[in-house]
Amino acid sequence: MVALNDVLDKDNMILAQFIVVYCDSLHRSREKALWDEGDQGESNLGGMAPTLCPECFELLSYSVRRRALCPQDPKPSCKNCEIHCYVGEHRARIREVMRFSGRRLILRGRLDLIFHYLF
């Protein structure tokens, strides 16, 4: 049986890859910081350690926290969630990231990631 943490880790890792594509493409000149799971409490990217600008770092951190606190059981994909717990600008920002990076990943043939498209 697949453990909940494994599902969340995978969900987070895919989300992180979308945010990395976005940040690498649009925020190239910004100063970046390495994701440190030790600083993120319960957050877990399954060992992945992306380098992101402060804005994208904050968006990933927020998204990972939302997933960790998800009230849905079993958790649907966020795309299909009726509650949608993201508030304010975070929801618009994550949708923009998924839209932008989704197109890029299709061009790169990463349909495996698109299959798990979250928003």
Interface pick for ligand SF4 out of 7, 83, 92, 111 (rule CB under 6 A): 83
Contact between 81 and ligand SF4 (CB under 6 A)? yes
Q: Which is nearer to ligand SF4, 54 or 76 (CB)?
A: 76
34 DSSP assignment: E
* In 14-68, beta strands by DSSP E: 33-34, 51-52
Question: Using the rule CB under 6 A, is 91 a contact of ligand SF4?
Answer: no
Does the protein bind ligand SF4 through residue 10 (CB under 6 A)?
Answer: no
> 85 near 70, Cβ under 8 Å?
yes
Backbone region of residue 3 per phi and psi (left: phi > 0; alpha: psi in -120 to 50; beta: other values): beta
How far apart are the C-alpha atoms of 119 and 116, rounded to whole Å? 9
Task: Give residues in contact with ligand SF4 (CB under 6 A).
Answer: 66-67, 70-72, 75-76, 78, 81, 83-86
Task: Give residues in contact with Zn ion (CB under 5 A).
Answer: 23, 27, 53, 56
